[in-house]
A = this chain, B = another copy of it.
Amino acid sequence: MQKPSLPKGTRDFGPVQMARRNYILETIKDTFKLFGYNQIETPAMENLRTLTGKYGDEGDQLLFKILNSGDFLKDVTMNDLSTGYQNTLKKVSEKGLRYDLTVPFARYVVMNRNELTFPFKRFQIQPVWRADRPQKGRYREFYQCDADVVGTDSLVCEAEIILMIRRVFEKLNLTDYSIKLNNRKILTGIAESIGEAGNEGPLCVAIDKLDKIGWEKVQEELIGRGFGLSSIEKLSPLVNLKADQDEKLAFLKNFLGSSETGLQGVKELEDAFTILESMGEDLSHVELDIMLARGLSYYTGAIFEVKVNHVSIGSVSGGGRYDNLTGGFGLPGVSGVGFSFGVDRLYDVLEELELFPAESLKSTQILLTHFDDKGFRYALGLLSKLRAVGIQAEIYPDLTKVKKQLEYATKKGIPFVGICGDQEIENSVIALKNLESGVQESFSLDELIIKLK
């Protein structure tokens, strides 16, 4: 008999992890709903033609593919087999597991475009699967937690994303973090201004690594990608710019003077800030980061990234505006803006900073314990009455030593036990013991209910 095991890169979530994850997810969901986002779900499996070609060649390699049912070899020819596995793949698999929530969302919008109310604000919290090499903090199954609004160019959406991020962090008691903000149009403008018009793509890819590899290496990479030395020199003052928000904006306007697109990017940022001001909100935690690029090529406007300071974990949230979500499915012109929370990373941050509140683990409030059959019956009589008023209550289901019953309560994190002995039965009370303090007091049922509610 083989010992059972989990597939590489996957995890179980036990009661404690689930309670903590739910604490994070409920906070995020409440916030999305407060801002008018509605939840949707899409299937785990998508047709491979929906998924392939959307994530680049590397992404296609990382898709989990599902074997066709039954005799999956029936359409495979000797020729397919002899020309490498790619040709065979097409014949043996037509479905894959979703790789992110964005492509399924785009597919959903296209398929339901006549029924949806635009602007359509949706959130979606589901696992995704990637056949990545498993490593610390990287899993083959993990949850994504996305909110997008499509069908409007309004910068109110950008302002509201900042507010949603701030609300989630406030509720999670996270105080020391930065919402880094930039705009792809500014990066386009920078490429123009340094004499590399049209090369914002490779520019983004290179400066995206600035944090990880430093300016020296980024310069090498830019040279490798064909950037001229004089272009790189012109970029240098931006990389090293130390200034406050207003100074940065002023510097940028000057730097981008000749680029209409670049100035439009600056204006979009300023307009979003003005909207925040109209809402009576300040710019706390917001940090204009001219070197923020984000790798994904489909962003066309604002881009976001959130970093918690003084922890070892990378960005915990990010997103941006795109102007062509559904083009790949034949529906052009659907623009929008979206962002997502990295739930696994938020979990690790809260754990590292010891910010999970004890209440987040609270489940059963009281365990009724007993010494004998008489006490057991007495406890059974109380049990339904406690639950009827919404108190999460359990009885230890077997007749056994009280020590074992107390151990059960302690291990399960139940704060109170209600002892049902002969004396309690005689006086129609319950001896309530606080397992943390050790204090024990007798209460009538009504008093007990008030005490526990």
Q: Is A56 located at the chain interface by the 8 A CB criterion?
A: no
Residues from chain B with a CB closer than 8 A to the CB of A210 are none
Q: Is A448 located at the chain interface by the 8 A CB criterion?
A: no
- Complex alpha-carbon distance, A377 and B159, angstroms: 13
Q: Is A363 located at the chain interface by the 8 A CB criterion?
A: yes
Name the residue on B nearest A71 (C-beta). Answer: B85
Query: How many chain A residues touch B (Cβ–Cβ < 8 Å)?
Result: 102
Mark contacts of A107-124 with chain B using CB atoms, 8 A cut-off: 1 yes-contact digit, 0 otherwise: 110111001010101100
A39-B11 contact in complex given A65-B67, A154-B398, C-beta closer than 8 Å: no
Which DSSP category, helix, strand, loop or mixed, fits chain A's interface? Answer: mixed
Residues 79-138 of A at the B interface (beta carbon under 8 Å):
81, 84-85, 88-89, 92-93, 95, 97, 107-108, 110-112, 115, 117, 119, 121-122, 127, 129, 131
Residues 362-394 of A at the B interface (beta carbon under 8 Å):
363-364, 377, 380-381, 383-385, 387, 390-394
Q: Is A222 located at the chain interface by the 8 A CB criterion?
A: no
- Complex alpha-carbon distance, A129 and B98, angstroms: 14
- Contacting chain B: which of A13-21, A255-263, A301-309? A13-21
Is the Cβ of B156 less than 8 Å from the Cβ of A397?
yes
Copies of chain A in the complex: 2
- Complex alpha-carbon distance, A387 and B34, angstroms: 6
Residues from chain B with a CB closer than 8 A to the CB of A156 are 380, 395, 397
Name the residue on B nearest A45 (C-beta). Answer: B7
Q: Is A449 located at the chain interface by the 8 A CB criterion?
A: no
Name the residue on B nearest A107 (C-beta). Answer: B4
A363-B329 contact in complex given A73-B85, A397-B157, C-beta closer than 8 Å: no
Q: Is A163 located at the chain interface by the 8 A CB criterion?
A: yes
Residues from chain B with a CB closer than 8 A to the CB of A286 are none
Is the Cβ of A7 less than 8 Å from the Cβ of B108?
no
Other CB < 8 Å A-B pairs besides A5-B47, A44-B141, 9 of them? A3-B110, A4-B329, A6-B47, A11-B43, A34-B387, A44-B129, A119-B397, A119-B398, A278-B380
Q: Name 24 interchain pairs, CB-CB below 8 A, sorted by A.
A: A1-B329, A1-B330, A4-B111, A7-B45, A12-B108, A18-B39, A18-B40, A22-B39, A33-B363, A33-B392, A34-B391, A35-B392, A35-B394, A36-B363, A38-B363, A72-B89, A73-B81, A81-B81, A117-B411, A154-B398, A156-B397, A278-B381, A279-B380, A280-B385
